[in-house]
Structure 1
Amino acid sequence: MSRLRLLHITLWGPNVPLSTVEFGAGLTLIRGPSDTGKSFMVEAIDFMLGGKSLKEIPERTSYSTVLLGVQLPTGEVVTISRSVAGGAFSLYRSDLRSGPLPVSDENLAAKHNPKNDKNLSMFLLKHLDLDKALIRKNAQGATVSLSFRDLVHLCIIDETKMQSDVAPAITGQYTTKTKEISTLKLLLEAEDDSSIVAAQDAPTSARTTGAKIEVIDHLLSDLEAQLADAPEEGQLRDQLARLNGAIEDQTSAVEGLLAERAALAEQTREVQQAAQGARRELAEVGALQGRFGLLSEQYDSDLERLATIKEAGVLLGFFTPGACQFCGAEVADQRYNHSHSVDGTAFEDSVDAEIARTNELRSDLALTLEELARRGEETRGSWRNAAVRANALAARLQSLDEDLSPGDTTLRELMAIKSGVEMSLQLYVQIADLNRLKAEIADVTQADVAVVSNGLNLTALSEFSAEIAKRLAAWGYPDSSSVRYDRSAQDIVADDQYRSAHGKGVRAILHAAFTLGLAQYCLDRDIAHPGFVVLDSPLVTYRPPESGSPALLDESLPAGIVRDFYRDIQRSFDGQVIVMENLDPTEPLGPDAVDVVFTKTNGLGRYGFLPPKRSTGGLVVRD
């Protein structure tokens, strides 16, 4: 069976202690308090399997190289090396655990390229017999080469993803959702999408949907960052109401100015709405002009082609001796028509008729383009006027704010707070608008996803659901027999609710069951799978950093689940599983398990994945 095994993860630097953790063939448990480097280890493993970057933490300073030991399906042991700064990989066909490193046996690019096997993705996929696999990326049947990164998110689960309400099979990115479901389909059915014939008339809009959603997600991220320290929208509205009441008590002397300010604020809102409408209309006009411009060029091309056809037809009849090419008359019976420069023919008449029809269509299109240009100029003028008016209103609002009881410090402070609250509320409004727009655009993506989801084999899904339920039953999860994987939602249904509707403790354990269940499903059926699973905090969310403080199990999880979880993955999981956990096991692990304990206490066992830094006399040194 083709599977990989991770042997160790190591950080090396010329002037720092070597930091390495070895992994067992079955269960490796890495446990200890929070902030001891467990999640950093998960990120480091992901980084060494093609991740873009490695988080910068103080303890990482002076480490230059990451080493990942891997046993290939052939039994050969290789070491993959990479700079902590990222970039390409070096491959050594031996088990290296420290530096300085010799000259590498091979260099592998970081980016997947199916046309060249000199990259990490193709190197690993070839050993899994998946280097030729294609996966579907949209409803039109377009396919792309499977990348090893398409598999990584199904076997390396960090703490954030473990507890996220995003479905386990996907990453939450609209642009890759169809590909991700196709990858799951590949693992469940052991068949790629190379037999699919792509539609030839796939609309351009389908290709740009993902890019649009990415832009909106970026805008949403910026807006949410601005609201990171702001209260919830409801709290802001309550605060605004209280502020308005306090301001009203202090503004008896400036009611006229406040009324004018309110009117100006309303006018500003209306002007902003008008400007936004003008921007939308300009975008529509631009799109129509682009499409109609292409149509106009097509008409011009048609007219040139018809003129060429007409000329060729006339010359054919003029230069060809013998019977007429159009009416069949012999030379003796042919007469020259003095009323025309050339003889008229039915062919020429038909060409002239087509030219006349095309000219008429082009004239109508020209009128339409003129109307669009006029409409565009009017809209552009409206937008400019709205911008000018908005600036004028803003200047007047600023002037009024300065006039409102300049000597009354309390009132001015209230107005400043109100302005900040209004700005925050406006950000919430923008977020709501962007989410509505995102939902509209996502309808196209949902159509792609639905096509791929509906293509999942029901028998395979039923067997996969049974594997998840079996895993949960072994862990003591209540009513596990009713758990199933829903094809349409691409999510686990437990207790008649999707996984996303549960608390983060249940979401984590369901994600662990999905990941381990998928791996075991593949291993049992000899279906290609990386063969290893890395789970970050499947059982607990936080452990206090104080020495001796107990880890806290989520109250929504059943009693005994910790004991049953470790028993099951040692007895009933055939692959390699690496677990990062804050919670200690309730009973000793089996003899084949590897138990790595981080203490976060100097002088007591191993502090963490990386040794701590300490400051002495202004210099930072390592213990």
Structure 2
Amino acid sequence: MSRLRLVHITLWGPNVPLSTVEFGAGLTLVRGPSDTGKSFIVEAIDYMLGAKSLKEIPERTGYSTVLLGLELPSGEVVTLSRGAAGGAFSLFRSDIRSGPLPVSNEDLAAKHNPKNETNLSMFLLKQLDLEQALIRKNAQGVTVSLSFRDLAHFCIIDETTMQSDVPPAITGQYTTKTKEISTLKLLLEAEDDSSIVASKGASASARTNGAKVEVIDQLLGDLEAKLAEIPEESQLSDQLARLNGSIEDQTSTVGVLLAERSALADRLRALQEKARGARTELAEVGALQSRFALLSRLYDSDLERLATIREAGALLGFFTPGTCQFCGAEFSDQHYNDAHGADGTAFEESVDAEIAKTMALRADLAITLDELTRRGDEARSTRHDASVESEALADSLRALDEDLSPGNGALRELIAVKSDIEKSLALYAQSSELIRLRNAIIDTTQTDASVITDGLNLTALREFSSEIAKRLEAWGYPDASSVHYDRAVQDILADDQYRSAHGKGVRAILHAAFTVGLAQYCFDRDIAHPGFVVLDSPLVTYRPPDVDSPALLDESLPTGIVGDFYRDIQRNFDGQIIVMENLDPTEPLGPAAVDVVFTKKRGVGRYGFLPPKRPVTAALEIES
């Protein structure tokens, strides 16, 4: 089976110390206190396998180049080089650990492109014999080329993802959920989606939904910027209630006017909502009219072609009974024309029938277009009337505000504050409506993922669940035999709860079992898999830098899980596994394991992945 192996990750700069970590063929454990660069190693690996950017941290200053040593399935060791600021990759057909770099053997683009092999994704997929693989992206059967980034999600797990309540098979982005489940299906069943035939209009529908969500997200972003400057909705509601009480306490003589103002404000809001509905109706009508106008032109074009055929048939004698103009058969041998006698031919009748059918369709379409025109006129009229009435109501509100309490400046100030609060609350209402619309579009898109989910092979899922349960049982997880993978929600069910409902410690270990189990499942069945797994903090979340302060195991995990975890992944995992962890192993690692220890103590062992930045005072003393 074709597998990749990570050899080393190295950061180089012309005026800074070289920083590198070498990886073993089996287990590599990088351990130490928090904030020593362990998670940055994971990000650097992901960056060198196609992620868009590398996090800016102070320690990275001066490091201009990232190098990743990679052993190919053929046994050849190559080096990938990329600028720390981003951009394309350089491929070297040798193991390079420092700069300055020689001339590269090949340049690889960072973006996946199935039509051109000179990009990182296609280079890596070719090593796994997956360069031709297609995966499904929606329920209509539209497929796209598999990218290595689709696979990276299943083998490089950062700390945030490890503890997230999002199911391990997906990233939480609704637009990519179908692709992610399709990739899982590829790994479980060793079969891509190249045999699927897409239904017409699928890609247009997907693009339309995506465009709608992008517009709504942009509007929500603008609203959120405004809402960030005002109090919470509940606080505004409380302020409004107290303000109304203060207004009532100040004067009882304006009660009728206030009621009238409230009615006008309610009417104004209703009219604004009516105008919004009319605008929505106009947008829908316009979209339908554009589509139906295109269909009408298609019918006209069809009728013109049929008229040409009929005219040519009449001129060339195709509609006149007698010797066949196509094959020369005598009239007596033309069985399809028996029912027409001397009056015509079956060809003529079929042309006339097609003309009649197309004209009927065009007539039906004309009725529909007339109805759309009526709806559009009605919506425009409604919008105009609502706008005119809204302006009048706004004028009435302004006049009413002036008449509420002439000379009473305090009351006017209270009303002005109330108006501002109502405007702020209207922003929250608008935000809620946009979120509702966005969720409605997303709910429609979720049907894409459910189609793929229902198509997952039950036998493969059962065997995969067994692999997860076997891992957890080896790690000492309680009642591991009942753990299984639920395809309906794409999540692990453990202790009668989905992974998302557990604490972050259990979520992390369940995600680790999913990732390691999936890799071993592929290894055992000779199914394509990158061949390596990178796990960031599968057991604990924080460790202080004091040498004498050990990391503490999450209370939700069994106490013996640390020893069982390291023992199992060394003995029973057939691929390369790289673990970043705060917690020290409870027993010595095997001789084949690579143990990298960070201390976060100057002068004690290795400080971290990158050397510590010199304090300003120390730097000045050295320079002086």
Relative to the length of structure 1, the TM-score reads 0.84
Match of 2:40 in 1: 40
- For 1:622 and 1:149, the matched residues in 2 are separated by 46
Q: Name the amino acid aligned to 2:299.
A: Y
Give 1:569 deviation, angstroms. 1.6
Match of 1:438 in 2: 441
Q: Is the CA contact 1:174–1:213 (under 8 Å) kept in the aligned structure 2?
A: no
Match of 2:528 in 1: 528
Find the residue that maps to 2:99 and give its secondary structure: coil
Q: Is the CA contact 1:613–1:621 (under 8 Å) kept in the aligned structure 2?
A: no
Give 1:67 deviation, angstroms. 0.6
Q: Name the amino acid aligned to 1:159.
A: E
Match of 2:334 in 1: none
Match of 2:241 in 1: 244
Give 1:90 deviation, angstroms. 0.3
- For 2:524 and 2:621, the matched residues in 1 are separated by 50
Q: Does 1:269 align with 2:269?
A: yes
Match of 1:500 in 2: 500
Match of 1:616 in 2: 616
Q: Is the CA contact 1:216–1:438 (under 8 Å) kept in the aligned structure 2?
A: no
1:239/1:137 CA distance change after superposition, 3 Å: closer
RMSD: 4.0
Find the residue that maps to 2:485 and give its secondary structure: strand
1:495/1:272 CA distance change after superposition, 3 Å: farther
Gaps of 5+ in 1: 330-342
Matches for 1:311-326 after TM superposition, within 5 Å:
311-317=311-317
Match of 1:466 in 2: 466
Match of 2:585 in 1: 585
Give 1:380 deviation, angstroms. 3.2
**Per-residue CA distance 1:167-213 (angstroms, 9 max, x = gap):** 2122223333232222222222223333x241554645654366257
1:409/1:47 CA distance change after superposition, 3 Å: farther
**Per-residue CA distance 1:560-599 (angstroms, 9 max, x = gap):** 2223222222222221111122333334433332233333
Give 1:76 deviation, angstroms. 1.3
1:200/1:5 CA distance change after superposition, 3 Å: same
**Per-residue CA distance 1:432-463 (angstroms, 9 max, x = gap):** 413541344225424xx42x333333222222
1:258/1:29 CA distance change after superposition, 3 Å: farther
Q: Name the amino acid aligned to 2:114.
A: P
- For 1:417 and 1:35, the matched residues in 2 are separated by 46
Matches for 1:128-139 after TM superposition, within 5 Å:
128-139=128-139
Give 1:294 deviation, angstroms. 2.3
Q: Name the amino acid aligned to 1:191.
A: E
1:574/1:276 CA distance change after superposition, 3 Å: same
Q: Name the amino acid aligned to 1:97.
A: R
**Per-residue CA distance 1:404-424 (angstroms, 9 max, x = gap):** 965479958974884586256
1:149/1:280 CA distance change after superposition, 3 Å: same
Moved more, 389-398 or 452-461: 389-398
Q: Is the CA contact 2:140–2:448 (under 8 Å) kept in the aligned structure 1?
A: no
- For 1:603 and 1:244, the matched residues in 2 are separated by 63
Q: Is the CA contact 2:157–2:535 (under 8 Å) kept in the aligned structure 1?
A: yes
- For 2:620 and 2:448, the matched residues in 1 are separated by 51
Q: Is the CA contact 1:175–1:210 (under 8 Å) kept in the aligned structure 2?
A: no
Match of 2:64 in 1: 64
Matches for 1:294-313 after TM superposition, within 5 Å:
294-313=294-313
**Per-residue CA distance 1:472-498 (angstroms, 9 max, x = gap):** 111111110001112232221111222
Give 1:374 deviation, angstroms. 4.1
1:621/1:87 CA distance change after superposition, 3 Å: farther
1:74/1:478 CA distance change after superposition, 3 Å: same
- For 1:621 and 1:90, the matched residues in 2 are separated by 40
Identity %: 66
Find the residue that maps to 1:295 and give its secondary structure: helix
1:393/1:546 CA distance change after superposition, 3 Å: farther
Match of 1:76 in 2: 76
- For 1:596 and 1:417, the matched residues in 2 are separated by 60
- For 1:288 and 1:214, the matched residues in 2 are separated by 20
1:103/1:160 CA distance change after superposition, 3 Å: same
1:370/1:188 CA distance change after superposition, 3 Å: closer
Moved more, 461-470 or 244-253: 244-253
Q: Is the CA contact 1:108–1:119 (under 8 Å) kept in the aligned structure 2?
A: yes
Match of 1:334 in 2: none
Matches for 1:370-381 after TM superposition, within 5 Å:
370-381=370-381
1:585/1:230 CA distance change after superposition, 3 Å: farther
Give 1:111 deviation, angstroms. 1.9
**Per-residue CA distance 1:255-294 (angstroms, 9 max, x = gap):** 5565455335423432332132112211221232123212
- For 2:26 and 2:343, the matched residues in 1 are separated by 90
Match of 1:597 in 2: 597
Give 1:520 deviation, angstroms. 1.3
Aligned length: 603
**Per-residue CA distance 1:502-553 (angstroms, 9 max, x = gap):** 2222211111000001111122223221111111121223345677655443
Moved more, 54-63 or 39-48: 54-63
Relative to the length of structure 2, the TM-score reads 0.84
- For 2:395 and 2:112, the matched residues in 1 are separated by 54
Q: Name the amino acid aligned to 2:292.
A: F
Match of 1:198 in 2: 197
Q: Is the CA contact 1:216–1:434 (under 8 Å) kept in the aligned structure 2?
A: no
- For 1:385 and 1:467, the matched residues in 2 are separated by 66
Gaps of 5+ in 2: 332-341
Q: Name the amino acid aligned to 2:217.
A: H
Find the residue that maps to 2:534 and give its secondary structure: strand
Moved more, 19-28 or 99-108: 19-28
